Amino acid sequence: MSIEQNLQNIKSTLPKHVTLVAVSKTKPLSDLMEAYNAGQRVFGENKIQEMTEKHEDMPKDVEWHMIGHVQRNKVKYMASFVHLIHGVDNIKLLDEINKQAMKHNRVIDCLIQIKIATEDTKFGMSVSDAKSLLSSKPYAECSNVNIVGVMGMATFTDDKDKVKEEFITLKNAFNTFKENHPTFKIISMGMSGDYQLAIDCGSTMIRVGSSIFGLRN
């Protein structure tokens, strides 16, 4: 099926409050343009350099989401245009985003990545560390970053009950944070294999790659 058909199929099943991030990492510009011409404006990449190059080549009304692990020394390359950084998991990174955002006179929206999977390869903070960060002085002093929600990745497994449990953990963490941070609005969870379950568990933003663009090499 074509990229356009894949997009239409997915979008026809999504509730209105759920944003679809089309994950275009490793894919050529022609694929991104096919999605763009089908109306897609929100794209996700996991490498800053690749995202920066695509940003230069794509129409300027695309919203670019950085969904991967962020190296501090590369924040400067995306600070002028990135729309949302999903994977913030430490204060030093947040500080650097703040500094670079300031240079461009912007406030950059970020999500706190929470470690919900039991695999130890995944990045992210514990719920209690995230809570401390959110109420910390260093974060309060970051005037040019705005944490607007949470992001998480479930364990890579066929065990739906386990994945569901992890999604619910993230949803509960979001609810807890929201008590003190009423501007929280985004729960980024769910990928090609599990986005329906994620939506059932409260996701408001899904990051879908292979179901739109086909398998990656």
Ligand X SMILES: *Cc1c(COP(=O)(O)O)cnc(C)c1O
Q: How far is CA 4 from CA 8, 22, 62, 64, 76, in A?
A: 6, 12, 17, 19, 33
Among positions 23, 75, 88, 94, the unique one binding ligand X when judged by CB under 6 A:
23
196 binds ligand X (CB under 6 A): no
Distance CA(46)–CA(39), nearest Å, equals 22
Among positions 46, 98, 100, 204, the unique one binding ligand X when judged by CB under 6 A:
46
Structure tokens at 84: 């949302």
| Contact region with ligand X (CB under 6 A), list: 76-84, 103-111, 156-164, 186-194 | 186-194
CB hemisphere CA count around 191 (13 angstroms): 17
Q: How far is the CB of 188 from ligand X (least distance, A)?
A: 8
Q: What is the DSSP letter of 119?
A: S
In the bound state with ligand X, the residue whose beta carbon lies nearer, of 23 and 130, is 23
Kindly state the helix (H) or strand (E) to which residue 146 belongs, with its residue range: strand 145-151
Q: What is the DSSP letter of 62?
A: P
Note whether 213 and 50 are within 8 A (CB): no
Q: What is the DSSP letter of 80?
A: T
Q: How far is the CB of 48 from ligand X (least distance, A)?
A: 13
Among positions 67, 111, 127, 205, the unique one binding ligand X when judged by CB under 6 A:
67
Footprint of ligand X on residues 144-183 (CB under 6 A)?
Answer: 153
Among positions 27, 43, 66, 68, the unique one binding ligand X when judged by CB under 6 A:
68
In the bound state with ligand X, the residue whose beta carbon lies nearer, of 117 and 153, is 153
Structure tokens at 63: 């919203």
In the bound state with ligand X, the residue whose beta carbon lies nearer, of 54 and 207, is 207
Closest Cα partner for 151 from 201, 71, 86?
A: 86
90 binds ligand X (CB under 6 A): no
Q: Which residues bind ligand X (CB under 6 A)?
A: 23, 25, 46, 67-68, 153, 191-193, 207-211
